[in-house]
């Protein structure tokens, strides 16, 4: 959600802030603004709408220090008044904020009683007024005192007209300091920094950073702290569209590379699995996988993978539900899956599990993210930056990690292990084959846009895949899509089958195949159109489905990787046909950093 950027150095801040904000558009937002300081005077401009619209209205705001923000509304509707930055009463302090201030109503009431004037409906506005209240011996001390009174989650960046520093603070919300030469940068996510530096400092909870153009000083709960800088492993080119119309399409096409790179990280040419950072002292421990959205659906695939390899002590739970459960027993392995490493519900769930004595493992795409400092063991997917809100290549890479964990903890013989690893290497080629012929999916996608409702069905290991596929249709094409295990249709959903309710069915040639064909026949008896996804050479499916999309032959165990590619492409082309904002779906954000 929301995006923060900041700059202090020897260049004009405005163009840097705007360019950096554009790199964060994928996080989702409905308003934006920037503030700069020059000669002790604060210059501010903000409005609702996109950054490109802001630029058309934006006057020249001089100054070599500034902050910027993209807001995703939580408290108060999208409007110029509610947009960030927010100011104190005397326009000497400007603040941008990500997160939720839970005690803002109480703080606001007290501040109003003390004479402070509020203009917006936001929780954020209490922060500059609180800093103003404690402003006695300079901005650093005032910020330090103010954050002690904030309850909730936040990442903030603060400017003051009489301060030569840019000040940032965090609690349960990410913020990163980028290091330059006689200039420094601030951002809530790495892509905003890639144009300017590859050296970053990840702040930790309760850190406050005091930043000038020459240095960065950090305190942790009032005491000096040292945070080592790290090199960003991503290249700027990876965060650009590279000729594709949308980031989502680019990232779908990057899936073979994400599969190969993640696999190569843990399976070198020797063919043995190595470097997998997981506990080694348990035999068949209970494993609980936690995630949200696409990451949760990946965890459901894990359960089928483990089961196929003879390991049953694994289950999955939505992270936001685990938070309110009784938790886990001491010694359980809890695997938290989060592409960004900043998903608030997953972080809260992992904290709870760790407090209960669980061994925590994080699967993430972002080095240095919050989850990497929280979990006991870290497994990185190697997907590169994922900009589009809809997860694609990260989902595929998460599945690869699931196969590798299963092969490591399950009691499989060397023949089975080698066979699965060979299939995983081969599946990247098969996915590439699908991508090379992607245009042939356009007619089917166009057909699906004529309907307002859609069912997706599968059995076995591809059931979570249709859940993920349905999510894609909902989030980017705005088509109401429900996914079911095929056997569940008769337990209610059959009542909705009509000529105008198409069904997409995955027919994998495994032990579920014949049952799936029976389900399709039952659906056809209710006159619903059926689009089947089946392995090439399947003659049976052609006789009963209205349309068939063929995938290259792969071992059924790894078929989720080919089948999800088909569903991603169908959703993408349907969204394009409908004229949807594919990379920036309405009301959604890439990183859900507030519960």
Residues 6+ away with beta carbon under 8 Å from 178: 184, 185, 186, 187, 193, 196, 197, 199, 200
Q: Of the candidates 393, 392, 306, 293, which has an alpha carbon nearest to the alpha carbon of residue 337?
A: 293
Query: Would you tell me the crossing angle of helices 414-436 and 393-409 to the nearest 10 degrees?
Result: 170
**CA contacts within 13 A on the Cβ side of 535:** 13
Residues with Cβ within 8 Å of residue 422, at least 6 apart in sequence: none
- What is the full DSSP assignment across 127-150? HHHHHHHT-SS-HHHHHHHHHTT-
The secondary structure of residue 58, as a DSSP letter, is P
Token look-up 């309907």 returns: 451
372: which 2 tokens?
A: 């990497």
Q: How far apart are the first and last CA of the chain?
A: 11
Sign of the CA dihedral 533, 536, 539, 543?
Answer: positive
The rounded distance, in Å, linking the Cα atoms of 306 and 296 is 16
As to burial, measured by CB atoms within 10 angstroms (0-12 exposed, 13-18 middle, 19+ buried), residue 242 is: exposed
Q: Specify which residues 550 forms β-bridges with.
A: 534
Report the relative pairing of strands 65-71 and 31-38 from DSSP bridges: antiparallel
Count of other CB atoms within 10 angstroms of residue 109: 11
Residue 73 three-state SS: coil
Residues taking part in catalysis:
2, 590
Would you call 484 helix, strand, or coil by DSSP? strand
Q: What is the DSSP letter of 489?
A: G
Query: How far apart, in whole angstroms, are the C-alpha atoms of residue 471 and residue 482?
Result: 8
- The conformation of residue 24, written as its DSSP 8-state character, comes to T
Measured N-to-C along each axis, helices 139-147 and 126-133 cross at an angle, to the nearest 10 degrees, of 120
Whether residue 33 contacts residue 46, with contact meaning beta carbons closer than 8 Å, is answered with: yes
Q: Looking at the DSSP assignment, which residues form a beta bridge with residue 219?
A: 208, 224
Helix/strand/coil (H/E/C) assignment for every residue in 525-536: CCCCCEEEEEEC
| HSE value, Cβ hemisphere, 13 Å, CA-based, for 517 | 14
Q: Output phi, psi for 125, to 5 deg.
A: -65, -20
Q: What is the DSSP letter of 119?
A: -
């Amino acid at each position: 959600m929301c995006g923060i950027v900041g700059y202090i150095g020897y260049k004009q801040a405005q163009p840097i802030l705007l360019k950096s904000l554009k790199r964060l558009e994928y996080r989702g937002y409905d308003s934006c603004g920037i503030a700069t300081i020059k000669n002790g005077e604060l210059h501010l401009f903000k409005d609702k709408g996109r950054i490109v619209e802001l630029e058309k209205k934006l006057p020249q705001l001089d100054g070599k220090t500034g902050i910027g923000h993209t807001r995703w509304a939580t408290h108060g509707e999208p409007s110029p008044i509610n947009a960030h930055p927010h100011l104190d009463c005397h326009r000497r302090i400007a603040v941008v904020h990500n997160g939720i201030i839970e005690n803002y109503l109480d703080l606001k009431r007290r501040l109003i009683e003390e004479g402070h004037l509020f203009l917006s409906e936001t929780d954020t506005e209490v922060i500059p007024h609180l800093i103003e209240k404690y402003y006695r011996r300079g901005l650093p001390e005032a910020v330090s005192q103010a954050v002690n009174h904030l309850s909730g989650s936040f990442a903030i960046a603060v400017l003051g007209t009489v301060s030569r520093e840019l000040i940032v603070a965090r609690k349960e919300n990410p913020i990163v300091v980028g290091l330059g030469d006689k200039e420094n940068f601030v951002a809530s996510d790495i892509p905003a920094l890639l144009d300017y530096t590859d050296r970053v400092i990840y702040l930790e909870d309760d850190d406050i950073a005091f930043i000038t153009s020459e240095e960065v000083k950090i305190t942790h709960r009032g005491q000096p702290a040292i945070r080592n800088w790290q090199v960003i492993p991503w290249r700027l080119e990876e965060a650009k569209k590279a000729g594709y119309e949308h980031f989502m399409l680019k990232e779908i096409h990057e899936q073979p590379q994400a599969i190969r790179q993640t696999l190569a990280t843990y399976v070198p040419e020797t063919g043995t699995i190595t470097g997998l950072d997981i506990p080694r002292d348990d035999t068949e421990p209970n494993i609980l996988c936690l995630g949200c959205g696409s990451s949760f659906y990946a965890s459901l695939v894990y359960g089928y993978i483990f089961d196929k390899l003879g390991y049953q002590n694994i289950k999955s739970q939505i992270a936001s539900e685990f938070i309110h459960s009784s938790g886990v027993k001491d010694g359980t392995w809890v695997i938290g899956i989060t592409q960004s490493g900043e998903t608030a519900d997953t972080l809260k769930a992992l904290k709870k599990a760790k407090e209960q004595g669980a061994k925590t493992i994080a699967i993430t795409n972002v080095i240095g993210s919050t989850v990497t400092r929280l979990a006991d063991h870290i497994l990185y997917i190697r997907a590169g930056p994922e900009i589009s809100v809809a997860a694609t290549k990260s989902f595929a890479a998460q599945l690869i990690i699931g196969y590798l964990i299963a092969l490591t903890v399950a009691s499989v013989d060397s023949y089975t292990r080698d066979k699965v690893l060979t299939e995983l290497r081969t599946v990247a080629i098969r996915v590439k084959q699908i991508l090379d012929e992607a245009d042939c999916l356009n007619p089917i996608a166009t057909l699906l846009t004529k309907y307002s409702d859609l069912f997706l069905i599968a059995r076995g290991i591809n059931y979570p895949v249709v859940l993920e596929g349905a999510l894609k249709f909902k989030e980017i094409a705005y088509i109401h899509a429900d996914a079911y295990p095929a056997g569940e249709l008769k337990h209610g959903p059959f009542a909705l089958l009509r000529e105008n309710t198409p069904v997409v069915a995955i027919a994998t040639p495994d032990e579920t195949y014949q049952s799936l064909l029976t389900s399709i026949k039952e659906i056809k008896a209710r006159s619903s159109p059926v689009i089947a996804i089946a392995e090439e050479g399947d003659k049976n499916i052609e006789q009963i489905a209205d349309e068939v999309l063929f995938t290259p032959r792969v071992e059924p165990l790894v078929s989720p990787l080919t089948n999800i590619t088909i569903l991603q492409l169908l959703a993408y082309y349907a969204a394009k046909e409908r004229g949807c904002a594919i990379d920036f779906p309405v009301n959604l954000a890439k990183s859900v950093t507030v519960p």
